[in-house]
Chain A
């Protein structure tokens, strides 16, 4: 039987917010055409659409650890389906120097295993000052995977996103 966090995540994949974004090509769960089988729970591999940039893909895959979803926020980073490992720094999306995009996708922190963003569990746990500084980005159980994906997609479609 699926665990409660797994059932909640599965239900959120059927939500209007997730389905509407998927229909627009904004995001999705990695399907059988690219991934024979999803990893064991609590890990899932999803993709997020990115703006067109020379030499860069039109989507990036994310490997997210969803243990305790939604009471606990996801954590994860970009994933390379070809190697079955974290996406190498040279293939990761880059942002203009000093931009929010560059900061969130930085690879010089925690070995690039998590997004440097208040919604990411690893990042949030290491920054007790963030809830005061960024009160609009505090993860709670009313947040869903769509909040997380929409933040990543916004950055991958911002003017500060440079490609890889």
Chain B
């Protein structure tokens, strides 16, 4: 159909899905079709886009919080400008409380579930005053696991409500040797 676009639908604890939608379709119908939403909303929140607000947060702010607002799923794909945003996040957590540990210190921020790991990593490097060139080798590692999420993954994929928090360590990537 003319004007159809690909959307990437993210939900808690699951791999993202691709959905195709027309500009005049209502977002709720698209999400029901993709089986990430039932007819009753079950207290879930829906966010669109990839949120990067934390990157402009001043270095002095402690325990900051994003201001990403959920959208009304009765709106159309066109009205929500999804041809531009592309990503849709369905989540029970309005914010995800992130704690990042590095060199015996910790920094905290309440992120939108629509935040990529790349943004959280960049925020953490800035908060810990890592030199931009040297800091590029530092990546996020989920506490008490061996998991190092990919930069393009979204925070919402790593938490299972009612737990809306996650702990990371900022670690230097190992250079292969031997």
Contacts and interface: CB of A to CB of B under 8 A. Distances in A.
Nearest to A160: B136
Contact of B6 (A19, A136, A147): A19
A86 to B, nearest CB: 20
B121 to A, nearest CB: 10
A134 B17 contact: no
Contact of A159 (B15, B133, B147): B133
Interface stretch (A2-10, A31-39, A77-85, A98-106): A98-106
Contact of B152 (A20, A99, A123): A20
23 contacts: A16-B9, A16-B16, A16-B17, A17-B16, A17-B152, A19-B8, A20-B8, A26-B152, A99-B175, A100-B137, A100-B174, A100-B175, A103-B176, A104-B176, A118-B176, A127-B176, A134-B176, A136-B141, A136-B146, A138-B146, A150-B152, A154-B151, A159-B136
Q: Which 8 A-B pairs have the closest CB atoms?
A: A16-B16, A136-B148, A135-B146, A159-B133, A100-B175, A159-B136, A16-B8, A16-B18
Contact of A19 (B18, B133, B136, B177): B18
Interface residues of B, number: 28
Contacts of A139: none
Interface in A77-133: 98-100, 103-104, 116-118, 123, 127, 129-130, 133
Interface in A139-164: 146-147, 150, 154, 158-160
A21 B87 CA distance: 12
B62 to A, nearest CB: 27
Contacts of A23: 6, 86
A110 B147 CA distance: 29
B104 interface: no
B178 A129 contact: yes
Contacts of B176: 100, 103-104, 116-118, 123, 127, 130, 134
A136 B8 contact: no
A136 B15 contact: no
Interface in B111-129: none
A19 B8 CA distance: 9
Interface in B141-178: 141, 146-148, 150-152, 173-178
Nearest to A14: B18
A100 B173 contact: yes
Contact of B136 (A103, A104, A147, A158): A158
A136 B175 contact: no
